[in-house]
Structure 1
Amino acid sequence: MDKTKDLSSKSAVQRLIDRYNFKPNKAMGQNFLINKEALNAIVNGADISAEDEVLEIGPGLGTLTLKLSERAAHVTAVEVDKRIIPLLKQTLQDVGNVSIIEGDFLNPMVAEEIKECLAGKSAIVVANLPYYITTPVLMDIIENYIMIKRAVLMMQKEVAYRVVAQPGSRLSGSVKDYGVLSISVQYYMDPQILLEVPRSDFLPSPDVDSAVVRLDRRDKPAVDVQDERMFFSLVKAAFGQRRKTLFNALAGGLGYPLGKDGLKRVLERAHIDGNRRAETLSLQEFADIANELFYTINS
């Protein structure tokens, strides 16, 4: 890499934003990574080959984009902030295998542009996600998981641990991190935390620490269910009132015309104690309940 293009230091980033009189927007989560080891860990963790298509969400100044372009066949970079596009183009002016899409990744019209750039190929997603859109982007990736080989995502540390959480786990103290997000991601993806990144490794520094999560697409969902919509409705109802027992949470929020006696029979057939709390159930146990619910309603 041309050393004049290396933006993995505080001084280099500061010079670039000063040259363009650019003011990072805190509300948009514009915190630029300035740790070379962390940048390399993200790229290495993505396992990019010379044949791979990479989709980068929020390239910012292009620091990570440069490193991705050295490994991939092509990088599609989606940037929502029009103000930063001139800086991004300056960084990438000598790079021939990067396409920049201006717009919101979550906008359906932008999604069509991305599909055109990928030309039917599966992509590796890499992103330093602004904290305010982490969950919507994660859910979009999950819903379109067929198009994605894997994803390597920087996100708020607390959210990262929710993504990989197992039944009964806690991030700290009374904060319960296993929930709807954990199950939604793990149903389609196999997640692991690659590294933690302190707030001091960003310019400007955010208010929280971060972590990098790798998500590998499963060949098939983690558990077999008869009706995915019913499965996720069940999960959301179970976690909708965490302080209640599983039976009471489902009785009040499931929305299916079972009645308490019917719900009791469903749980008995699934061999689940209704006095348990939702955060103690595994994906398989939720699947067992969902399947018994499906059979009961459709019998």
Structure 2
Amino acid sequence: MNKKFIATPVRTKEILKKYGFTFKKSLGQNFLIDSNVLKNIIGHAGIDEHAGTIEIGPGIGALTEQLAIHSDKVVAFEIDGRLLSILEDTLSDYENIRIIHEDILKANVHQVIKENFEEDQPIHIVANLPYYITTPILMKLLREGLPVESITVMIQKEVADRMAAKPNTKSYGSLTIAIQYYTEASVVMNVPKTVFMPQPNVDSSILKLVARNVAPVHVKDEDYFFTIVQACFAQRRKTLRNNLSSHFKGVLDKDVINQTLDSIGIDGTRRGESLDMQEFSVLANAFYELQN
């Protein structure tokens, strides 16, 4: 193994010591210290020397370095200003990296892509995401309809399982539907706590999201669809009928809700976790028509 790689316990400690860097819990900073895990992430991401890559939260540059070696260009968003001079040092050997000091949640990623990559270049997002903000980041990226082929991220195992879940499982929920409406989701690898510094309290997984060119179901209104899905999971143990009655309280009475469910052939005594995406789309479209 190349001694120069950032992702080793020794090198990471050296860099932290050199700059007197301390981890900020509020930013969910856990740095990867295993080059093999990074190579696996790169392999699963399916990037090559023609690809453009976007990283979120490069830290001291462990994953950034591997992305720079294996892809054409890397653009990384880093929110922590203390890391900018460190990254300038650790990544000084690579000409194909641009670090942007900005919060990804506030960034105009479309504009960044336009400015940094070729028009027909395949683009992939690859990141070790802070656990506390995984879902808002992924939902922002997906809902903006970015021209990216895939998103491969290291996230909390439990969240990865929820995003890639199948109906009738404990992990399946409104988050599953939201992620799988935009992408095909799969957990490609589980990762132990020991490959991070500091070690997190939870296990991690690498989740791969491949962008869909066409939505898997037809919905009359996306926002309405997601609102209905969330309503059906508001209290997991409750039936569809009860959750929808709570959601439409003061707007639609129970008889109307029951009639609507009957008209589309969905049993109101079922629970949200038993419906697949197709059934949710039929359900949401029926209530959308009723209200519009």
Return the TM-score normalized by structure 2.
0.93
Aligned residues of 2:50 and 2:122 also touching (Cα < 8 A): no
**Deviation string for 1:97-151 (max 9, x for gaps)?**
1111011111146774455334656621011000111011111121123422100
Identity of matched residues, %: 40
Partner AA of 2:228 in structure 1 = L
Q: Per the alignment, do residues 213 and 288 of structure 1 end up closer, same or farther by CA in structure 2, a change over 3 Å counting?
A: same
Partner of 2:126: 126
- Tell me which residue corresponds to 1:276: 270
Provide the C-alpha distance between the structure 2 equivalents of 1:214 and 1:291, rounded to a whole number of angstroms: 29
State the superposition RMSD in angstroms.
1.9
Conserved in 2, the CA contact under 8 Å of 1:233 and 1:254?
Answer: no
Going from structure 1 to structure 2, the CA distance change for 1:200 and 1:4 (only over 3 Å counts) comes to closer
Match of 1:105 in 2: 104
For 1:295, the aligned partner's letter is E
Tell me: CA distance 1:184–1:15, structure 2 relative to 1, closer, same or farther (3 Å).
Answer: same
Query: When the two structures are aligned, how many residues end up with a matched partner?
Result: 291
Cα distance, 1:19–1:111 mapped onto 2, change above 3 Å: farther
1-structure distance, mates of 2:146, 2:201: 34
Q: Structure 1 residues 215 and 110 mapped into 2: Cα distance closer, same or farther (>3 Å)?
A: closer
Where do 5+ consecutive residues of structure 2 fail to align? none
Aligned to 1:173: none
The Cα of 1:250 is off from its aligned counterpart by 0.6
Match of 2:257? 263
Q: What does 1:245-256 correspond to in 2, within 5 Å?
A: 245-254=239-248
Which secondary structure state, in structure 2, belongs to the residue aligned with residue 77 of structure 1?
strand
Match of 1:202 among 196, 200, 210: 196
* 2:222 pairs with 1:223: no
1:57 is aligned to 56
CA distance in 2, matches of 1:272, 1:77: 46
**Separation in structure 2 between the aligned mates of residue 191 and residue 256 of structure 1, nearest angstrom:** 37
Note the 1:1-299 alignment, pairs <5 A: 3-108=2-107, 112-113=111-112, 115-118=114-117, 123-170=123-170, 177-254=171-248, 257-298=251-292
Unaligned runs of at least 5 residues, structure 1: 171-176
After superposition, the C-alpha distances for 1:165-208 in whole angstroms (9 at most, x for unaligned) are: 111212xxxxxx21111110001100111111111111111111
| Deviation by residue 1:8-56 (Cα, 9 ceiling, x = unmatched) | 2111111111111111222211111112221111001111122211110
